[in-house]
């Protein structure tokens, strides 16, 4: 028996292998040879105490094996949900390998859905269109020592970043991530799954024993093929992780922890502060960790530097274009981006474009 319970709503899906009587009678039958199932009686008492009603229609076949049929899987709803019931029926179109038929239950309720954060598919960037867009939109600023004031540098930076963002909007598509996506689930695996589902649907309509045998062969082939592909994919990921050293192993461990949103499911432990305050929600945990690891910085005493004598400023040599390109390319491509959300791998692609490199050269040297 599995259930979901909130303050006033209860939905229970039960699988019973012993008969019960519904609605519960005022007095249970008795007499010679009558055996009362204590668990069934307890279920009736619980349902009556919590005002739970049976939503499964009488006579609906939920279990079938050979020539035997029965109603085993039952759905119970609380009063607040029972009034919102739209339909409950057997989902014959759903592909499955069990002798229990899936039951489709539709309720008229609004549940908040969490939209995954939008992110760019940086690997699918159109390099040719990106280069053409940047060369057309970026104008190299002329920042000489005479006009390189703070406002001019700020304006040139804003214009440059705006052109970069406009080029990203035109050349980098949005990603459509899925927790079920697997690069090692090949087209051959997908075709095997489609064949298996097609044979299952045909057998559900015809009950032909030859179709059933063909379905069993296709199902066994599908299982072997999918298991082999996923096993080879796991071995390949482990090999790549070990070749990259500790960094690769750390990424593999992080993927295993967060691939299904483990942190979003609230599996982190409750935090307790030094003064015994508890933090259970994500916001409270964030505030407590911020308070612990980033305490308020005490105000510095600047009285000893009021009469300080500073030496003449040392001259800085000009930053060359080669140095700018080398530093940009030396950054790790897959590190977390900053506030602009642009990863270093994107800068690796555009830093060699003449207008981009010349603009960076003008801005960096104007800041010296």
Q: Residue 3: its pLDDT value, please? A: 44
* Beta bridge partner(s), residue 106: 87
Q: Assess contact for 60 and 105: CB atoms under 8 A.
A: no
Q: Residue 2: its pLDDT value, please? A: 44
Q: Residue 215: its pLDDT value, please? A: 92
Alpha-carbon distance of 286 to 80, in angstroms, equals: 36
Alpha-carbon distance of 303 to 306, in angstroms, equals: 6
Q: Which of 187, 193, 183, 186 is nearest to 221 (CA)?
A: 193
| H or E stretch covering 11 | strand 10-15
Residue 183 tokens read as 């690069």
Alpha-carbon distance of 74 to 323, in angstroms, equals: 71
Q: Residue 235: its pLDDT value, please? A: 87
Cα first-last separation, the chain: 70
Reading the chain (368 residues) residue by residue, the pLDDT tens digits are: 444 444 445 555 555 545 554 454 444 444 555 566 677 778 778 878 888 888 888 778 888 777 788 877 888 888 778 888 888 888 877 766 677 888 888 888 777 777 777 888 888 899 999 999 999 999 998 888 777 888 899 999 999 999 999 999 999 999 877 767 777 888 899 899 999 999 988 988 888 999 999 999 999 999 999 999 989 988 887 887 777 777 777 777 777 766 655 444 445 677 888 888 888 888 888 888 888 888 888 888 888 887 878 788 788 888 999 999 999 999 888 776 778 889 999 999 999 999 999 999 999 998 87
Q: Residue 335: its pLDDT value, please? A: 75
Q: Residue 328: its pLDDT value, please? A: 92
Q: Residue 6: its pLDDT value, please? A: 40
| H or E stretch covering 79 | helix 79-82
Q: Residue 351: its pLDDT value, please? A: 93
Give residue 303's Cα distance to chain centre: 53
Q: Which of 362, 349, 264 is nearest to 321 (CA)?
A: 362
Which whole-number Å values give the CA distances from 268 to 161, 274, 282, in the listed order? 38, 18, 9
In this prediction the pTM is 0.49
Instruction: Give 321's DSSP letter.
Output: H
Q: Which of 263, 259, 241, 239 is nearest to 250 (CA)?
A: 241
**DSSP result, 253-279:** HHHHHHTT-TTTTT-SPPEE-TTS-EE
Q: Which of 39, 190, 13 is nearest to 100 (CA)?
A: 13
Give backbone dihedrals phi and psi of 280, rounded to 5 degrees, phi first: -110, -35
* C-alpha gyration radius of the chain: 33
């Amino acid at each position: 028996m599995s259930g979901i319970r909130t303050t006033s709503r209860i939905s229970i899906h039960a699988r019973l292998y012993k008969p019960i009587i519904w609605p519960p009678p005022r007095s249970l039958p008795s007499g010679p040879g009558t055996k009362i199932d204590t668990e069934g009686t307890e279920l009736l008492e619980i349902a009556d105490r919590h005002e739970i009603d049976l939503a499964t229609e009488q006579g609906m076949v939920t279990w079938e094996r050979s020539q035997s049929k029965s109603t085993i899987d039952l759905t119970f709803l609380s009063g607040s949900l029972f009034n919102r019931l739209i339909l409950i029926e057997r989902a014959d179109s759903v592909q499955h390998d069990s002798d229990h038929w899936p039951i489709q239950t539709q309720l008229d309720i609004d549940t908040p859905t969490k939209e995954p954060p939008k992110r760019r598919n940086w690997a699918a960037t159109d390099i040719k269109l990106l280069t053409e867009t940047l060369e057309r939109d970026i104008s190299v600023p002329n920042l000489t020592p005479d006009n390189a004031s703070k406002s001019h540098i700020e304006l040139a930076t804003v214009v440059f970043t705006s052109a970069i963002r406009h080029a990203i909007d035109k050349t980098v598509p949005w990603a459509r991530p899925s927790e079920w996506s697997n690069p090692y689930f090949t087209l051959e695996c997908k075709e095997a799954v489609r064949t298996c589902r097609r044979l299952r649907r045909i057998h559900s309509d015809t009950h032909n024993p030859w179709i059933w045998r063909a379905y069993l062969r296709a199902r066994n082939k599908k299982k072997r093929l999918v298991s082999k592909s996923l096993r080879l994919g796991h071995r390949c990921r482990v090999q790549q992780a070990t070749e990259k050293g500790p960094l690769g192993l750390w990424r593999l461990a992080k993927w295993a922890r967060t691939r299904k949103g483990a942190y979003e499911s609230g599996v982190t432990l409750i935090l307790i502060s030094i003064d015994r305050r508890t933090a259970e929600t994500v916001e409270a945990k964030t505030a407590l960790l911020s308070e612990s690891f980033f305490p308020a910085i005490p105000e510095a005493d600047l009285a000893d530097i009021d009469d300080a004598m500073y030496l003449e400023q040392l001259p800085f040599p000009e930053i060359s274009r080669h140095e700018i390109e080398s530093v940009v390319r030396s950054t790790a491509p897959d590190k977390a981006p900053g506030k602009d959300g642009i990863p270093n791998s994107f800068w690796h692609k555009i830093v060699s474009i003449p207008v981009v490199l010349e603009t960076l050269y003008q801005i960096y040297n104007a800041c010296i």
